[in-house]
Each structure stands twice: as C-alpha cells, then as structure tokens.
Chains A and B, each alone.
Chain A
Amino acid sequence: MSFIAPARMQLLKRMQCSIFETSYNPENLRTGAKYLRKRLRGPSMMQYYPPQLNIPRLARQFPELQIDYLPESVRVEDVKNLKARGKGRPKKRKTKAEGKSMDKDKGKKKK
C-alpha cells in the first residue's frame, strides 16, 4: 500500500461525510446521539401488566349502576365508625408554617 498523507485522508473523510450525510467527527467525540436514536421505553413499559378491574372505582364512576360491593361498603362503614369515635385521619395542614413544630419534632426523633 502506498503512503497517503493524513491531511488528504482527513479531506477524504470529510467528503465521505458530506456525500453520505453523516456528521464529521474526526476526534470521535461523544455526541449523545444514542439517546436520541433509542426508542422510548415508557409506552411499552405501561402495557406490561394486564388492565386492572377496580370495582369501587367503577361504582364511584357510574353511580347509576348501583353496584354494591361488600368489601368497599364495609370499609366505608369502618371509616365512618372511627371518625365518630374521633379516630379519623388527622387534618392536613393548609400552610407550611402550620405544622412546622411537628416537623421539628420529627427531626429530633430521627437523631
């Protein structure tokens, strides 16, 4: 093989790139193109599990069907009883300052 000057070789490569519409990257720098080339995985990930049948949600969405699902009605009844005895869920704070003293206590406990 005969010797070819590196400068000429470079020129050849640049021409190759212009002809075949590839990007000229003589230093082989990483351009991150592979993150664009790869397909998005989210949509197929969401399809892995079969659809779920949520009867309570169905009953809430279509009250005209009058679905009575025993486990859900028992749960609602339990929550009502707890609330009547003052054992319901605590109220959510409306402003950040409202529950600040509680946060401080939490930090102390962790230590």
Chain B
Amino acid sequence: MPPPQYGWINARVLRDMKRRKGVQEAEVMRRAYLLVARNQTLPAQVRHQAQLQLNGYDRYARPAEVKNRCTATGRGRGVMSEFGLCRYQFRLKALAGEINGVSRVTW
C-alpha cells in the first residue's frame, strides 16, 4: 500500500471540498426530483412541485459548481485533469520522474 499523499489546502480548496460534500449528500434526492420534473408524462402540477424542490437547493448541491483544483497547490487555472496538477507542478513532478509514463520530448 502506498503511503497517503497529503495535499495543500487553502480557503478555495476547502470551499471546493464543501461543495463536493454537498453534492454527494443531495445527489440522490436531486436526481429523483430531476426525474419527476423532466418527465413529460407526469401532470404539470407534479412536475412544477418537483421543480420548486430543485430550486430550493443551495449552490453547494449543484455538481456544476465543483471545480477540479490542483491537488498539490490548490491552483484553479491551468490544471491538467489527467493528473490533477497545475501545469507547473506537473512539470516539476514529471521532471523529477514522479509521474509514470511521462518523459521529456525533444525534436
């Protein structure tokens, strides 16, 4: 078993963690309301009620609010999704040989 890797936290990373937690907690109920609200075979009143329930959720329940930040520095931009690292951390770790299957190219 590899040793656990500890990442950098700042306020923005904490906020993102909060969002992820909120999404996970609300996900099943939110899906159920979406199913009812988007179902055209159900009566309009039922669909409307489901939509109202959906509107009642705060933004910490919305999966679109979650942002993949750099796991090493917490940077929000220039993050390579395949590695979960921002471009500079990716460069540093790749040059140090810490990322498998990545090597420097010259041509």
Interface residues of A, Cβ cutoff 8 Å to B: 29-33, 35-36, 38, 40-43, 45-46, 48-53
Contacts and interface: CB of A to CB of B under 8 A. Distances in A.
Contacts, number: 64
Contacts of A40: 27-28, 31
Interface stretch (B38-46, B87-95, B98-106): B38-46
Nearest to A47: B20
A46 B40 contact: no
A50 B74 CA distance: 12
Nearest to A43: B24
B31 A29 contact: no
Q: Give the residue among B20, B21, B25, B34 with the most A Cβ atoms within 10 A.
A: B20
A19 to B, nearest CB: 22
